[in-house]
Amino acid sequence: MNVIKTEIDGVLIIEPRIFNDGRGYFFEAYSRREFEALVRKVDFVQDNESRSSYGVVRGLHFQKPPYSQSKLVRVISGTVLDVAVDIRKGSPTFGRHVAVELNGDNHRQLFIPRGFAHGFAVLSNEAVFQYKCDSFYAPQSEGAIAWDDPDLGIDWRIPPERVVLSEKDRHHDRLKDAGWLFDYGTDYYSALEGKEGLA
């Protein structure tokens, strides 16, 4: 696989090697051995999938310690704009984001480390979205930032009147008003925290 650095350290674009022939294509969506050699050691424990229609925006979500998550996201069909926001206080890129178009044709994936809020917008009529997590879903640990926080400056590439949100995602705080954020000086991959991600 090919690993592409983004403007924020740790957020990486993953391009798998595609084998095409007259029958179609084949690729390894994930190889633990290769991923850990080129990206970092991560113990993925849960796979999630969603289907959404045009205009749906999900985010910007994260989980607080001790259940914070890394995510490896990809699109099976359709097209989304995938967004990772640095919410680590003290980080040189605090409040900045990476936005990458993922679709069922380019087969790109985005690795989002712990310490970031994540969201995506559906740009096609429909999209099937999959992601791996290195910690189990913990509703008591949920956190979120407003998807439309003007200080973040995210262009979701959807007219505001066409955006579709869950009721919960309509009411998140802006980054500057968030009651809890990650700390840039804390290692959220420490052995102490990592225990909750191992089954």
Domain positions in the chain: 2-183
pLDDT at position 196 is 44
Average pLDDT rounded to a whole number, residues 56-61: 97
Residue 61 annotated as catalytic: yes
Residue 172 annotated as catalytic: no
pTM: 0.92
Name which of 69, 73, 82 is nearest 120 in CA terms: 82
Catalytic residue, chosen from 61, 97, 107, 118, is 61
CATH architecture of 2-183: Sandwich (2.60)
What single letter denotes the amino acid at residue 114?
R
pLDDT band at residue 197, thresholds of 50, 70 and 90? very low
Q: What are phi and psi of 177, to 5 degrees?
A: -105, 5
Catalytic residue, chosen from 67, 118, 131, 188, is 131
Name which of 83, 72, 196, 80 is nearest 132 in CA terms: 72
Name which of 73, 115, 65 is nearest 92 in CA terms: 115
